Amino acid sequence: MSEQSLAGVSSRFARSTTDETSVVERGSAATETKRDDPHGAVTVEEVVLSAELAGAEGQAATADVAEYALWLGDDALILSQQLGAWIARAPELEEDVALANIALDLLGHARSLLRYAGSYDGRSEDDLAYWRDEPEFRCAWLFEQPNGDFAQTIARQLAASAYLFELYTRLQRSDDATLAAIAAKAVKEVEYHRDHAVQWTLRLAGGTDESRRRMVRAVGDVWPYVDELFRDEPLIDRLEGVAVRPSTLRAPFDAVIDAVFREAELEVPAGPVSSAGGRGGSHFPTLGYLLAEMQVLARQHPGATW
Amino acid sequence: MVTHAVQDSVSAVTVTDEAADSRRRVQPGPSSGLNRERAWEVAAAVPDPEVPVLTIEDLGVLRDVAVDGDRATVTITPTYSGCPAMDAIRDDIVLALTREGWRQVDVRLVLSPAWTTDWMTDAGRRKLSAYGIAPPTGRAAARGPIPVRLAVKCPQCGSLDTREVARFGSTSCKALYECRACLEPFDHFKAH
């Protein structure tokens, strides 16, 4: 298996979060299988990814459905890549593990959504992740906001997970069976992410003067990019019953945020709103650097395995 | 099932081994024991790579097995969306069934219905506890705006006086706890 594929990235997350014991146990189990195998060297040939996508099952019906899956898949992929950068840098060991776990869930969502998006025109999840340039990405600016300090990451997590929870809750009832299945699985996971973000928001806002100062600043820095999530683009009009209309998510999102902010004694910033433009391929200046880091290996050494 | 199936990173996995062919004297078919019950039994014995005390049947990951002559199709579902153990589980299923004489083994990955710890067998829960991991408590479906969390019993001393140390653990499916009675830290398999 190519370790530079998204599948390889999942395994790497797993290794970084799996304790030593299970790694050792896995290693010895593999050796045992080999030794006990009466058939000697059995080779498992994995069919190349593009061939797997050729099946009619789970194929995106129209270009519009594929585009919608791409929007959601890019949001998950970029947020996952950002959170991965916290591993070994979080304020405490448990947070390394927590952010890595959240990133891993998001990478799972991204893989399912990008695979589905690519099924329309025969591209693989790796083609979409590694071989598109910045203007071809469709993520919203909130997900592109830099990690900043831990407070900024938490403010971004709070907005992102509250939005994703409301989105996936409704997308479970999509007329599109594949999107509904991905959403039904994802909603349980993002609920846990939301819980994590809420707890840290309360802790930082109610902690020391320094943690509160940083949390207030972080919310102010992140909030201009919240508005974009709830804009109804023309694509949504063409996907009645399939896509969730973003504007319908605003009220339930605000209700959750209001409750959390009331408890944390924070205020929703009243400042200017960013025009953003991620769905149309215009991106926040830092996205290019993030993509460069994410894509360099796949582009420098196409097909590399180790 | 088919309309909801999301065929992910898994599809036809073909196993070739000529030496095995020459050794295989029994013609495949119902008489050789290549039936669905046997296929289920073999697939069900595959251990989870990250919690090896559980089989994929205990976990509720194994959803279906179909047999057509010497061809077996096994359907599995991931615990969490990003679960990286799925590739290892798929390979282990292919190897286990191939060893038992199936010539072609297909492993399908489905996302719907979404996996829940409610599917974990009672035997699985007992094995987890004996292994030192507190099994999931309560039903995953009981969800509301204010989550009610049941006490988690310490797998070492059985005390209910435990506390959550971290919401996330060494794998997606676990959280880290400690027992205030015996002071031992332990993993808790989260209700999901």
The CA distance from B64 to B73, in Å, is 8
The CA distance from A3 to A11, in Å, is 8
Q: Is the pLDDT of residue B94 over 70?
A: yes
Q: What's residue A14's pLDDT?
A: 52
Q: Is the pLDDT of residue A12 over 80?
A: no
Q: Where are the beta strands (DSSP E) in B2-98?
A: 12-16, 62-68, 71-76
Return the residue matching tokens 């304790």.
A19
pLDDT tens string A90-140? 999 999 999 999 999 999 999 999 999 999 999 999 999 999 999 999 999
Rounded to a whole number of angstroms, the distance from the CA of B51 to the nearest CA of chain A is 7
Residue spans of the domains in chain A: they are 49-300
Q: What's residue A24's pLDDT?
A: 34
Contacts B8 to A, Cβ<8 Å: 111-112, 115
The mean pLDDT value for B22-43 works out to: 70
**Cβ–Cβ contacts within 10 Å for residue A296, how many?**
11
Q: Check if the beta carbon of residue A35 is closer than 8 Å to that of residue B95.
A: no
Kindly report whether the peptide bond that precedes residue B113 is cis, defined as omega within 30 degrees of 0: yes
pLDDT tens string A162-182? 999 999 999 999 999 999 999
User: Crossing angle, helix A287-300 and helix A63-84, to 10 degrees?
Assistant: 90
Taking the Cβ of residue A88 and every Cβ of chain B, the question of whether any pair is shorter than 8 Å is answered with no
Contacts B16 to A, Cβ<8 Å: 43, 45
Task: Name the least confident of A48-52, A221-225, B85-89.
Answer: A48-52
Rg (CA), chain A: 20
Element (H, E) at B187: strand B185-189
**Cβ–Cβ contacts within 10 Å for residue A213, how many?**
12
Contacts B109 to A, Cβ<8 Å: none
Q: What is the CATH number of domain A49-300?
A: 1.20.1260.10
Q: Check if the beta carbon of residue B189 is closer than 8 Å to that of residue B158.
A: no
More confident residue, A7 or A146: A146
Contacts A37 to B, Cβ<8 Å: 95, 99
Q: What mean pLDDT is reported for chain A?
A: 86
Q: What is the CATH number of domain B2-109?
A: 3.30.300.130
Q: What is the dihedral of CA A47, A51, A54, A59, to 10 degrees?
A: 70
A32: CB partners within 8 A, 6+ apart: none
A41: nearest CA partner in chain B? B17
pLDDT tens string B135-157? 998 766 545 544 566 789 999 99
Mutate to test the interface with A, among B172, B189, B192 (most CBs of A within 10 A): B172
A196: nearest CA partner in chain B? B167
pLDDT tens string A250-292? 999 999 999 999 999 999 999 899 999 999 999 999 999 999 9
Rounded to a whole number of angstroms, the distance from the CA of B96 to the nearest CA of chain A is 9
Residue spans of the domains in chain B: they are 2-109, 120-189
